[in-house]
Structure formats: C-alpha cells, structure tokens
Amino acid sequence: MSTKDTLMFGKRLKQLRLARGFSLDALAAEMGGIITKQALSKYELGKATPTPVVLNKLAAALGIKAAHLWSEPPFSVKFIAYRKGSGLLIGEQKRLESIVIQSLEDRVRLQDLTQQTNGSALPVQTLNVRKVVDAEAAAGKMRTIWNLGQAPIANVTDILEDHLVHVLEVDAVEKFDGISAVAVNGDENIKAAAVVSRSGIAGERQRLNLVHELGHLVLHISKETDEEKAAFRFAAAFLAPADSLLREVGKKRAFIQPEELLILKQRFGVSIQALLYRLHDLDVITDSYYKKWCIDINRLGWRKHEPCELPPERPQWLRRSVLRAFGEGLLTKDEAEQMLGEQLKIKESLSLIERRSFMKLPIEERRKLLSEQADRFEAYYGQNPETRELGGGDIIDY
C-alpha cells in the first residue's frame, strides 16, 4: 500500500469522524473498545492502517461501507470566506469544514442519482465590486439572473435550493455566523455550492446570514474594499431592493414608528436593525436619527433578540431528494437514513426487496426461476386473443 493511499485514508477517516461529531475517545468507545484512541490517531496521521476486522468496525461506527474510506473524494471543496474577526478556534473550524465537505458529498451524489443539474450556472465570484456601493447593483443583477423581480422574497432557503445552492445548518458556537463553499471537480467545474448558517437563530437573522454568504460566493470584491460591508450591502439589497423599499417608506423620513418597522420586518423578512441600516444607506434617514435608533435598540435590549422574531426557514431539498432516490430504488434504506441522520418510518417496496433477494440466489436457481416465468408469460399471451395476433403466442424480442 502506498504512502499516498495511507494518507488519503487518514484524511477521509478524520473528515468522517469530525462530520459525525466523534472525538477520538468517542469513536473508540463506539467501536466497543477494540482499539485505542492512540491507534485511531495513527490512522488519521497516515502512520498506520487498520486490520480488516478493525476496518469493518470503523465503517460500522461511522455508518458507511468500508470501501468509502479508501475511495478518492469525487471533488474538492473550496471555502470562500469566514467572517473576519470570528475568532473560531482551529479545532472548531476543522469540525465545521468536515461537516460541510461530507454534506456536499452527499448532496452531489444525490444530484447525480436524480439527474439534477449541477451548480455550474452559479456566477461564482464574477460580479465585480470595486466599492461597497457597487454591491447594490450586483444584488439587482443576481435577482435578474434568477428571475426574482423586485418583490419581497417569501422564502430565501427555497430560492437558494432551487438553484442548487445548498443550505446547511450547523450546531456551532455563537461566534460563528456563516461560511460559503463550492464543490469543484477535476476539471474545475462547479458541481454544487453551499451556504452555511448556525442553527437556532431567528429567521430574520438566518435569512440575512444566508444571503450574506451568497454574496461571498458571487461577488468579486477588490482588495481595497471591505469584504464584509460589501457582502452585507449585497444581502440587504437582495432582500429589500431599493425601489421596493422606497415605495413602502418614501424617499425621506424624519420619524418612523416602531410599529411601522415591525410591519416592514414581516414584509421583507429582515431585522429592524438591518432595516434601519438599509434606510440609512439609502439616505432615507439621517445620521443623527440612525444613531438615535441604535441607542434605543441597546436600551430596549433588542440587539440580540428583537420583538416579533420570525421562525427560521427549514431546508427541504435534502429530504425531498433522499426520499425520491429511495423511492426509485437508487438508495438503500440504510443510505437514506445515514444522509438524513434519522430513522425512516417507511418500508421498502416489496418489489425492491424481491429484486435484492433474487440477486442473492445462485445463478442456476435464478435461471430456473426466469425460465418458469417465461413459460407462464408464453402460456398467457398465447391464449389471450388480444395478444395472439401479435405473433401467435411467440414471445416478442425487443
């Protein structure tokens, strides 16, 4: 076995372990203690390889086939951006990246199985932004590319998933806001993209985070421009287009009631804070009035939790595609459950079970059953007046 193979095995093992949420100790325990965490560490570092018995135990603990650990990844994943100043520890960053890589691997496999188009139509880092205000036009162009018009978006997650930008939710520390990534094959073609947000946050914050990460995916931002400000401007303009928002509030306002802001929050699906920032960017409200509102938001305790929080949006593409692939016999029940991370309360179709049982029979027994079935078909079609005319009972060979 080559050093390259051993290193690849170690990398795959570590990625899957982290994606499944196991520490070295926890994985050793899941395997029934037949191996130590020190030995697992050696496997991941490419310093040793497991015996066949240990390999099968490893695969079972991770919920995969043993061959998967030796297989070359079908694509590479490029992470576009972490929020500057997020302060994530290296270990937490590696854990999150492993989750994203494994999630994208599952989703690309589903795309291929269900013959859904790849993500090459996404304009990754092609919308030029030389200064922050240019992100406004980029958001409009993105809406045009996706034929969204100017109306408020009812469900951002649905729009992203419709265009194979996979929406991932992860359990993460509060410092993590989001990340974006693309899956690229050997020819540098984009197979899929993902935007990632922390689970357990209010819907208005989730929506802004997801579109903020979309901004990092599609914007080509000059080095002189603040990337985070440009991505935020893109997200705000994408969710609340200037023409649509100004039609609701007017071009100049000296005073805005809290109740009006709450109505706008519901309509555009963005937070009060993001709305005020957006109105300030569009010169609807003055610097002094914006600062007054910032003080009031702090005083009212709305910085982290605003009134009338929106429910978070739930991604549906993965579940829908897994159930479709399972229903068409493209995935086994075990594979479907592994992708969804839960047990399915459905039964495999009898025909699928029968096909699998048939394929396990010895070849001679299979030939005998096929011959008997052919005889039954010939007897039926030979006696049926509607089919006898097609060939006097002969079996037609297509």
Phi-psi sector, 103: left (phi>0), alpha (psi -120 to 50), beta: alpha
The answer on 65 and 102 residing in a single domain is no
Q: What is the pLDDT of residue 158?
A: 96
Q: Each residue of 358-379: pLDDT tens digit?
A: 667 788 877 777 777 777 666 6
Residue 262 belongs to some domain of the structure = no
The answer on 138 and 35 residing in a single domain is no
pLDDT band of residue 396 (cuts 50, 70, 90) is: very low
The answer on 148 and 36 residing in a single domain is no
pLDDT band of residue 398 (cuts 50, 70, 90) is: very low
Domain of 377 in residue numbering reads as: 361-398
Beta strands in the chain, from DSSP E residues, in sequence order: 76-82, 127-129, 165-170, 178-184, 190-198, 219-221
Q: Each residue of 222-253: pLDDT tens digit?
A: 999 999 999 999 999 999 999 999 999 999 99
Query: Which phi and psi angles does 76 have, rounded to 5°?
Result: -110, 150
Tokens of residue 38, six digits? 């020190």
The total of structural domains in the chain comes to 3
Q: What is the pLDDT of residue 382?
A: 58
Residue 39's CATH number: 1.10.260.40
Pairing of strands 190-198, 178-184: antiparallel
Question: In sequence order, what are the beta bridge partners of 165?
Answer: 193
Q: What is the pLDDT of residue 191?
A: 86
Q: Quick one: what percent of the chain has pLDDT higher than 70?
A: 88
What does 108-145 look like in DSSP terms, one character per residue? HHHHHHTT---GGGS-TT-EEESSTTHHHHHHHHHHHH
The answer on 113 and 166 residing in a single domain is yes
The answer on 238 and 164 residing in a single domain is yes
Q: Each residue of 271-316: pLDDT tens digit?
A: 999 999 999 999 999 999 999 999 999 999 898 899 999 999 999 9
Comparing C-alpha atoms, which of 213, 128, 127, 130 is closest to residue 170?
A: 213
Q: What is the pLDDT of residue 145?
A: 94
Tell me, rounded to whole angstroms, the distance of Cα 40 from its chain centroid: 29
Q: Each residue of 62-112: pLDDT tens digit?
A: 888 888 888 887 788 899 866 655 667 888 888 888 999 989 999 999 999
* 180 within 8 A of 217, measured Cβ to Cβ: yes
The answer on 191 and 131 residing in a single domain is yes
Q: What is the pLDDT of residue 88?
A: 76
Residue 62 belongs to some domain of the structure = yes
